[in-house]
Chains A and B, each alone.
Chain A
Amino acid sequence: MNFDTTNDMYLAGYEEFRIIGEMQNTVAAAEENINGENETKHEAKIEWSPENLGEAAGYMAVGMLGVFMIIAIIMAASYGIGAIIGRISRNGNNDNSDNNDAK
């Protein structure tokens, strides 16, 4: 390589180092990706955000309704199971009493 000035020599060297540096960075980034080490870490910040309130209130309404509805379904299922089992056991007892009577 022929260089006219020291500056040209410096620039050529700088360019080579820059390319090598970029390659090294690319390889390091790829390795991090493979190892899963470059997961984004965020720091939560306290920021006054009244604009969220409307959305949160909506979730509150839907959430409470959801909890009540699912609990009501479970409650109904409990009563239902109780009623069915009660009827089955009553029928069983009646059958037994019939048998006893027959005896």
Chain B
Amino acid sequence: MDKLLALFAPVGKLFVENPQMLIMWLIGGTLIFLAIKFEMEPTLLLPIGFGAIIMNFPESGVIEPLETLYNAGIENELFPLILFIGIGAMIDFGPLLSNPKLMIFGAAAQFGIFFTLCTASLFFKDIDIAASISIIGAADGPTSIIVANKLLGPKGYDDIIGSITVAAYSYMALVPIIQPPVIKLLTTKKERLIRMSYRPANVTKLMKILFPISITLIACIFAPAASSLLGFLMFGNLIRECGVLDSLSETAQKVLANLVTLFLGITIAFKMQASTFLSPLTLLIMGLGLVAFVVDTAGGVLFAKLYNLFAKEKVNPMIGAAGISAFPMSGRIVHKMALKEDPQNFLLMHSIGVNVSGQIASVIAGSLILGFFA
């Protein structure tokens, strides 16, 4: 028995000397549990959770390789941009192009970003920190990483970047839990029952090819900071729509996106060392991130209600909530909520249209934040 106790003595000593490490293991374990049990963004939460565990050992040998990956892929923004090619290749802009007015709801749902900027600015002397936290509301991991890195990296606030990234991806995973109560709170049953007719316009192949090119040109002219993000997104979409690069499109959608996601998840964990991650600051960032998601959802729904005051053909205000760019979860949630209220009310094409417009609008909002503060 004594020998057994002696065997475990170093383990006990480890926990006594580094209780923070144990907390990080619990956080990592929770992320893995959420990923496996509830399938919440498993492609990201599982690698992040596992990374959080292996990063938090005394003299962990994994720190150096992860730091190399971090410098090679996240600090220089390579991974998020490559991931955007894959996301662009996954998006079908058809539903949006058949009803372009849906784009306006995507813009409205970015309100959470700017509201959170105001709220976060109350807590930090340096407004750049507030701006970086506010971008969690973009509900878009790559945009959050790029904006936080560009604003905080040069200033040496490295410790916050990890918390912002984890908050962004965690809340994206929690969209099915966060959005429905907010939507229900802000809409009446009568509003949730509004049916929207879907009249698919003839969206030609040429239109689908010209759309990514024209958006890139517009972004380069009016929001140059967005040119890298939107440019890569639209490049991926052009590969999909051009019709002559099917194998590249398939690779971008599956192999490339999966490979980068794999590295992205585990590499983010490099910023989850207990010494920097476990602080009241992280809690505040998580709280502000939640505010951003809630206000994004509320902004979209309330704008749709405002639109209904003036429109002849009413829209179901729930589609406003799909304007956050958590694609395609947010669009699906609105569709499912509509079906729950009325099994014959199919909002999927509208909500997905708003959802992809939210993807574009969130990148534009991110680039504006960069334009203001970088």
Interface residues of A (CB under 8 A from B): 39-50, 52-53, 55-57, 59-60, 62-64, 66-75, 77-79, 81-82, 85-86, 89
Contacts and interface: CB of A to CB of B under 8 A. Distances in A.
B372 A59 contact: yes
Nearest to A59: B372
Given A42-B157, A67-B110, A60 B118 contact: yes
Contact of B281 (A46, A70, A89): A46
Given A42-B156, A71-B107, A78 B126 contact: no
B211 A81 contact: yes
Contact of A64 (B97, B101, B110, B127): B110
Contact of A82 (B97, B115, B157): B97
B62 interface: no
A52 B122 contact: yes
Contacts of B113: 63
Interface residues on B, range: 35 or more
A73 B230 CA distance: 15
B364 A47 contact: no
A42 B104 contact: no
B125 A52 contact: yes
Interface string B193-234: 000000001111011001100110011001100000000000
B129 A48 contact: no
Top 8 nearest A-B pairs (CB, nearest first) are A56-B121, A52-B121, A60-B114, A78-B100, A71-B107, A41-B156, A56-B118, A42-B156
Nearest to B373: A59
Contacts of B126: 44
B114 A59 contact: yes
A68 to B, nearest CB: 5
B246 interface: no
A75 B100 CA distance: 6
B104 A72 contact: yes
A67 B361 contact: yes
A58 to B, nearest CB: 10
Contacts of B13: none
Contacts of A66: 223, 364, 368
B219 to A, nearest CB: 8
A73 B226 CA distance: 15
Contacts of A74: 103, 214-215, 218, 360
18 contacts: A41-B156, A45-B124, A46-B124, A49-B122, A56-B130, A59-B372, A63-B114, A63-B365, A64-B107, A66-B368, A67-B365, A69-B222, A70-B219, A71-B103, A71-B104, A74-B214, A81-B211, A85-B204
A52 B218 contact: no
Contacts of A72: 104, 107
Contacts of B372: 59, 62-63
Given A47-B125, A56-B120, 6 more contacts: A44-B281, A67-B110, A75-B101, A81-B214, A82-B207, A89-B204
Contacts of B280: 46
Contacts of B158: 41
Chain B CB within 10 Å, residue with most, of A43, A44, A81: A44
Contacts of A71: 103-104, 106-107, 357, 360-361, 364
A52 B281 CA distance: 18
B357 A60 contact: no
A21 to B, nearest CB: 27
B223 A70 contact: yes
Contacts of B129: 44
B123 interface: yes
B71 to A, nearest CB: 12
Nearest to B113: A63
B368 A67 contact: yes
B117 interface: yes
Nearest to A76: B100
Interface in B89-113: 96-97, 100-101, 103-104, 106-108, 110-111, 113
B120 to A, nearest CB: 8
Nearest to B280: A46
A74 B93 CA distance: 13
A32 to B, nearest CB: 14
A70 B218 contact: yes
B222 A73 contact: yes
B155 interface: yes
B122 A81 contact: no
